Amino acid sequence: MIIPYTCPNCSNHVIDVEMKGLKHKVVTCPSCETETQVPDDLEICPGTIIGSGYKLETKIGESHLGDIYLALKEDEERLVRIEILAGSVASDEESVTRFLQEIELMSTLTHENLLSALEAGQDGETYFLVTAHEPGLSLEDTLARDSVVEEKKVLNYMITISEVLGYTWDERKLLHRDLKPQNIFITENDVAKLTGFGIAKSSEGQSLGLTGVGFTIGTPEYMSPEQIRASEDLDYRSDLYALGVVMYEALCGELPFIDDAPILLMQKHMDELPVPVREKNPDVSEGCSALIDKMLAKEPEDRHQSWQELMDDANDVINSEGKVGKKSGASSKAGGGTASNPFEAKSPLAIGGIIAAVIFLIVIIVLVLKAL
């Protein structure tokens, strides 16, 4: 690894320092001719060359495990995305294990809407993961710029991410466990792609040794009630809830639950009903609002029972231009209550009442006509 070193006297670039080469050595600045000793605590920054010739260009984000950079593969003149394990956690065995897990997982998953892994490795004491890069913005950056996203786009993003999560569940019974706007990338062609499998968990394994019983891991703003409770039998419906939170935020410009204290925030996810999307953003259709309500149901059995069911409901809302259909109506136990459904089948008692009212009205009209 090579890190650029700047002269503390004139602030001009002095020399590129090899991590195990010029540290502690005295060098002369070519600009001001001042002699300076290269410090031991140089930090990775733009201009650093890591691995097999990846030059870090700009920092574009952060993950649970470290910083994310846009980098140039110099011999190929190709831009890539590099996630680097932060120095402060590199000495933590669990963090390193989690990072290596993401490398292993990303190398085995192949889907057109999943940012694919290109290379991974260790340079000195630094671990890094290289993934494909496409021009665009994270959903987090998109929301920072636009505040909200129009309904049809949100539904299409939901369908695309659901396809990826359906693939990872079917292929590996894999849970993402950290769905959030930062981990959803929107390309210049307006296609959603998923990343951030650093704390993923296989339901067929034992959490890959990363978490103990009773330990909750994830991002509190987007965690399902059962993930907060550290349930040992999590399945895809936990990710489905988290995706519902992400879509709620995209439609409303704010989260369904807000609190500065993580513990209180997680308690709200377990106990409180969110305000329906349509009440916060009247431009959202009844069908879409009901769909999000169902995704945010407190109990997994009250949510969609497969990724395909969710995609079908989202397509129904798109094709019906937001009208509430039988499939997209929220469960009565879903967060925020139910949306009215004019197409929902009526009970025999309700139908009988309607018929009686019609007959009564006809009788009244006949009696009035006779009186005339």
Report long-range pairs for 19-25 (Cβ below 8 Å, ≥24 apart): 19/123, 19/124, 20/124
State residue 257's pLDDT score: 95
Asked if the 137-319 domain carries CATH number 3.40.47.10, the reply is no
Q: Where does the chain hold its CATH 1.10.510.10 domain(s)?
A: 137-319
Confidence category of residue 370, pLDDT binned at 50, 70, 90: low
Those residues whose C-beta lies under 8 Å from the C-beta of residue 190, and which sit 6 or more positions away, are: 153, 156
Q: Where does the chain hold its CATH 3.30.200.20 domain(s)?
A: 2-132
* 326 secondary structure, DSSP code: T
What is the full DSSP assignment across 65-80? SEEEEEEEETTTTEEE
pTM of the model: 0.72
Q: Please say if the pLDDT value at position 124 is more than 60.
A: yes
- 178 included as an active-site residue: yes
* 116 secondary structure, DSSP code: -
Of 179, 186, 180, 225, give the one whose Cα is nearest residue 201. 179
130, 231 in Cβ contact below 8 A? no
- Cα separation, 54 vs 222, in Å, equals 33
CA–chain centroid gap for 246, Å, is: 7
Q: Which entry of 67, 123, 178, 293 is annotated as an active-site residue? A: 178
Query: Over the stretch 207-252, which tens digit does the pLDDT of each residue have?
Result: 333 333 333 467 899 999 999 998 888 899 999 999 999 999 999 9
- Cα separation, 335 vs 224, in Å, equals 12
In our burial notation (b when 16+ CB lie closer than 10 A, e otherwise), range 106-144 reads beebebebbbebbbbeebeebbbbbbebeebbbbbbbbe
Q: Please say if the pLDDT value at position 288 is more than 80.
A: yes
* Architecture of the domain spanning 2-132: 2-Layer Sandwich (3.30)
Pairing of strands 184-187, 174-175: unpaired
Q: CA dist 75 to 10, 72, 119, 129, 340, Å?
A: 32, 9, 15, 18, 60
Query: Over the stretch 60-105, which tens digit does the pLDDT of each residue have?
Result: 877 766 788 999 997 888 899 898 876 666 667 776 776 676 667 6
